[in-house]
Amino acid sequence: MFDFTGKTVLITGASGALGVALAVRFAEAGANVVAASRKGYEEVAEKAGGRSIGVRLDVTSEAEWADALARTEAAFGPLDVLVNNAAYLRVGTSESIPVEEFRRVVDTNLTGSLLGIRAAAPSMRKAGGGVIINVNSIAGLNAAPGLAAYSSSKWALRGLMRAAAAELARDNIRVNSVHPGIIETPLAYGPDGSPLVPVDRLAIPRNASAEEIADVILFSASEQARFATGSEFLADGGFGLGAVA
């Protein structure tokens, strides 16, 4: 469906469920895949197959971003697509969340994406352009009580995306975001097995599969979306519509 033959794609947070699905989908579409995460990156690259490598990357470290881009270019040449997928979530209200945890969430979700854009843009200029996709969330579009830090980081990430889209437009670099709904992973459930966000009354009354969200990300990074920049792609199963009778 999508053709990324000859394109080089770096995916952060690659060891998570969505990261694995992205690595596999991009590899199937012909891309050179760089699976980047703090752990498990080699296993993800092996699962993706094709022309894939794994690199260690803590997205909050400028030095590790520089190393990841150097290794990417050494293996495949300039970068064409960056998917800022790494994220950290900590439950807590605006009154209860420890300040150090608030900072950690923002450092990973927002500053990590900023460092990714800074590292990727010079490489994409060498390639004549590129695409940056920030994986956002429904918490970046709606009230998210109990997720004060996560929601704050994702709302701020929207501003970063639009600023970068305007700044990099003349370099032929598109910047977009994808806002997934609830993905079917263990993180969607509490310790007692109950869903953290009930979805039975949504327009599409189920959680998304990681592969479904990966397909939306591939579309937003593809030539089929070549006229979209500064755009927000929503794949939330109708969460924003509220309960459906």
Look up residue 193 and give its DSSP letter: S
Residue 3 lies in a domain: no
- The pTM score is 0.96
pLDDT band with cut points at 50, 70 and 90 for residue 193: confident
Residues 6 or more apart whose Cβ sits within 8 Å of residue 244: 201, 202, 203, 238
Catalytic positions are 150
Residue 108 lies in a domain: yes
pLDDT score, position 195? 86
* Angle formed by the axes of helices 210-221 and 17-28, nearest 10°: 50
Residue 18 lies in a domain: yes
Residue 186, domain extent: 8-241
Residue 96 lies in a domain: yes
Residue percentage of the chain with pLDDT more than 90: 89
Residue 245 has pLDDT above 80, yes or no: no
Secondary structure class of 75 (helix, strand, coil): helix
Residue 2 lies in a domain: no
69/49 Cα distance (integer angstroms): 20
Residue 116 lies in a domain: yes
Average pLDDT, rounded, for the chain: 96
Q: What is the CATH number of the domain that holds 165?
A: 3.40.50.720
How many domains does the chain divide into? 1
Residue 191 has pLDDT above 80, yes or no: no
Residue 97 lies in a domain: yes
